[in-house]
């Protein structure tokens, strides 16, 4: 039910990006639907986690290519992938 979104604008506040992601993924023309949660994780680079109420919506989102977030006249092409709870080796922080 959760997708990971990359390609977010790093120069904008996370709450504004989260609002724009919510609007984008609620729209049926983008394959979207009801959203349970949107989180923007600070980068670099920032990424977003969008959790939908229904798994079918996440599947529709993943099938659609060319998601573009339009903010203030700028267009940000998004990379949308399935989010799994396990961290990949390059995401594990070794302090």
Q: Residue 81 in 3-state DSSP?
A: strand
Domains and CATH numbers, the chain: 2-82 (3.30.70.330)
- Reported pTM: 0.85
What's the pLDDT tens digit per position in 10-28?
A: 999 999 999 999 999 999 9
What's the pLDDT tens digit per position in 34-79?
A: 999 999 998 788 999 999 999 999 999 999 989 999 998 999 999 9
Asked if the model's pLDDT at residue 93 lies above 70, the reply is no
So what's the pLDDT on residue 43?
Answer: 75
Angle, alpha carbons 82-60-51 (nearest 5°): 50
């Amino acid at each position: 039910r959760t997708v990971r979104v990359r390609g977010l604008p790093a120069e904008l506040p996370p709450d504004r990006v989260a609002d724009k992601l919510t609007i984008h993924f609620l729209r049926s023309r983008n394959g979207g639907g009801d959203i349970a949660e949107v989180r923007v994780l600070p980068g670099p680079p920032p990424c977003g986690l969008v959790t939908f109420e229904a798994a079918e919506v996440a599947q529709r989102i993943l099938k659609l290519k060319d998601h573009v977030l339009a903010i203030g006249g700028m267009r940000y092409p998004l990379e949308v992938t399935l989010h799994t709870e396990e961290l990949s080796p390059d995401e594990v922080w070794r302090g």
